[in-house]
Amino acid sequence: MHNGQPETTLIKLGQPEKDTWSLCRDEDGLPEVRPAIVPLSVWQQHIDETDLAPWLPSDTELSPALAEELTKAPLVAIDFPAFTDGRGYTLARLLRERYGFTSEIRAIGDVLVDQLFYMTRCGFDALALREDQHLDDALRALGAFSVSYQPGVDIKEAMFERRLREAT
């Protein structure tokens, strides 16, 4: 147990790490245990508290004003309410590429081993696995592909562009 909650399996920058942040989904009031990841609306009311970080629902409208606000956060968590909801990938990619966000972006919620490689390609650098997912499987999944055809946050060129550049 971690702060009264089940221990979360966290992978950060490709390595297992002890999760020091507790997750609070309650929209009413502040959690007693800190540091805490709290709903966006709660964080916005306490934006200057450095031991609080926001989590964004997958349907968050990411405006330039909100992106600017998020630069004050020590990390931003993006919630995956179901593994079939891919909007979190877009939020992470927009934060990294359009808004230049450099702090930690963490995937929370229904985060499955199958998704991890693609999440890192979209800009997630921390992955909080769903309770039934196994760390060893997750670490293997992160290294499952050695080459990517499409550009991503991690590799800006498509495979054909890299090959053309290397051939000249």
pLDDT tens over the chain, length 168 residues: 444 444 568 999 999 999 999 999 998 889 999 999 999 999 999 999 999 999 999 999 999 999 999 999 999 999 999 999 999 999 999 999 999 999 999 999 999 999 999 999 999 999 999 999 999 999 999 988 877 667 677 777 766 787 788 888
Kindly list the structural domains of the chain, giving each domain's residue range(s) and its CATH number in brackets, ordered by start.
10-167 (3.20.20)
pLDDT at 68: 97
Which helix (H) or strand (E) segment holds residue 93: the answer is helix 87-93
pLDDT at 42: 96
CA dihedral sign, ordered 89, 11, 70, 4: positive
Q: Are 135 and 15 in contact (CB under 8 A)?
A: no
Cα separation of 66 and 10, whole Å? 26
Cα separation of 42 and 132, whole Å? 29
pLDDT at 149: 62
pLDDT at 8: 64
pLDDT at 50: 92
pLDDT at 151: 63
Query: Residue 49: is it exposed, middle or buried by C-beta count within 10 angstroms (0-12/13-18/19+)?
Result: middle
pTM for the model: 0.86
pLDDT at 166: 87
pLDDT at 4: 44
pLDDT at 119: 95
Query: Residue 97: is it exposed, middle or buried by C-beta count within 10 angstroms (0-12/13-18/19+)?
Result: middle
pLDDT at 168: 86
When computed from its CA atoms, the radius of gyration of the chain, rounded to whole angstroms, is: 17
